[in-house]
Amino acid sequence: MFIGLDVHKKSIEIAIAEDGRTGEVRRYGEIAGDLSALDKVVRKLISKGAELHFVYEAGPCGYEIYRHLTAQGFDCQVVAPSKIPRKSGERIKNDRRDAQMLARLHRAGELSGVFVPAAEDEAMRDLTRSREDAKITQKKAKQRILAFLLRHGFRYNGRTPWSQAHMRWIAEIKMPHPAQQIALQEYVDTLTESTCRVKRLTDQIQQLLPQWRMFEVTKAYQSLRGVSLIVAATTVAEIGDLTRFDSPVELMSYLGLVPSEHSSGEKTKRGAITKTGNGHVRRVLVEVAWAYRLPARISRVLHKRQEGLSQEICAISWKAQLRLCARYKYMLERGKCKQVIVTAIARELCAFMWAIAHEVDIPEVV
Tell me the per-residue pLDDT of 107-122, one tens digit each, with 9 for 90 and over.
Answer: 999 998 999 999 999 9
Reply yes or no on whether the pLDDT at 7 is more than 70: yes
Rounded Cα gap, residues 129 and 3, in angstroms: 32
239 and 333 housed in the same domain: yes
Determine the Cα–Cα distance for residues 252 and 351; give it in Å rounded to an integer.
8
Q: How confident is the model at residue 173 (pLDDT cuts 50, 70, 90)?
A: very high
Whether residue 362 lies inside any domain: the answer is no
In the three-class reduction of DSSP (H, G, I as helix; E, B as strand; rest coil), residue 30 is classed as strand
| DSSP-assigned states of every residue in 193-262 | HHHHHHHHHHHHHHHHGGGSTTHHHHHHHTTSTT--HHHHHHHHHHH--GGGSSSHHHHHHHTT-SEEE-
One-letter identity of residue 209 = L
If asked whether residues 146 and 181 sit together in one domain, one would say yes
Q: What is the mean pLDDT of residues 274-282?
A: 92
Asked, for residue 365, whether it belongs to a domain, the answer is no
Share of the chain above pLDDT 70, in %: 99
Residue 366, in any domain of the structure? no
- Domain span at 258: 215-357
Taking CA atoms, 167 is separated from 31, 145, 156, 160, 188, in Å, by: 56, 11, 10, 11, 9
Domain count, the chain: 3
Please determine, for residue 163, whether its predicted confidence score (pLDDT) is greater than 70: yes
What beta strand segments (E) does 58-103 contain? 75-79
Determine how many CB atoms are found less than 10 A away from the CB of residue 79: 19
Among the candidates 211, 234, 263, a domain finishes at 211
345 plus 306 within the same structural domain: yes
Start-end of H helices in 74-159: 95-108, 119-151
Q: What is the pLDDT confidence band of residue 21, given thresholds at 50, 70 and 90?
A: low
User: Torsion over CA of 217, 220, 222 and 226, rounded to 10 degrees?
Assistant: -110
Domain end: 211, 239, 257, which one?
211
Structure confidence by residue, pLDDT tens digits, 235-268: 999 999 999 999 999 999 999 999 998 888 888 8
pLDDT at 311: 95
Residues for the chain: how many in total?
366
**Residues 130 and 80 both lie in one domain:** no
Q: How confident is the model at residue 49 (pLDDT cuts 50, 70, 90)?
A: confident
- 113 part of a folded domain: no
Same domain, 297 and 219: yes
Would you place residue 289 in the very low, low, confident or very high pLDDT band (cuts 50, 70, 90)? very high
Which residue, 346, 205, 355, is CA-closest to 284?
Answer: 346
For 46, other C-beta atoms within 10 Å of its C-beta total 14
Residues 92 and 185 in one domain: no
Dihedral (Cα; 260, 264, 266, 270), 10-degree rounding: -10
Does residue 96 sit in the same domain as residue 195?
Answer: no
Q: Rg for the chain (alpha carbons), in Å?
A: 26
Q: Which amino acid is at 47?
A: S
| pLDDT at 20 (0 to 100) | 72
For residue 24, what pLDDT is reported? 86
In a domain, 134, yes or no: yes
CATH of the domain at 16: 3.30.420.40
Tally Cβ neighbours within 10 Å of residue 1. 17
Average pLDDT over residues 153-170: 93
Spell out the residues 6+ positions from residue 27 whose beta carbon is closer than 8 angstroms to its own. Answer: 13, 14, 15, 96, 99, 100
Using the 3D structure, point to which of 181, 211, 241 is the last residue of a domain. Answer: 211
Establish if 190 belongs to a structural domain. Answer: yes
Residues 86 and 26 in one domain: yes
pLDDT in the model for residue 63: 96
- Measured between alpha carbons, how far is 155 from 112 in angstroms, rounded to an integer? 54
Q: How many Å apart are CA 17 and CA 20, to the nearest integer? A: 8
The mean pLDDT value for 8-12 works out to 95
Residue 81 lies in a domain: yes
228 with 346, same domain: the answer is yes
Q: Are residues 273 and 352 in the same domain?
A: yes
Whether the pLDDT of residue 22 is over 70: the answer is no
How is residue 6 annotated by DSSP?
Answer: E
Domain shared by 168 and 266, yes or no: no
* Whether residue 48 has pLDDT greater than 80: yes
The separation between CA 187 and the C-alpha centre of its own chain, rounded to angstroms, equals 30
pLDDT at 312 over 90: yes
Query: Could you give the CA distance from residue 177 to residue 187 in angstroms, rounded to a whole number?
Result: 16
In a domain, 115, yes or no: no
- Mark whether 272 and 345 lie in a shared domain: yes
Q: Which of 130, 145, 73, 84 is nearest to 110 (CA)?
A: 84
Across the chain, mean pLDDT equals 94
pTM: 0.90
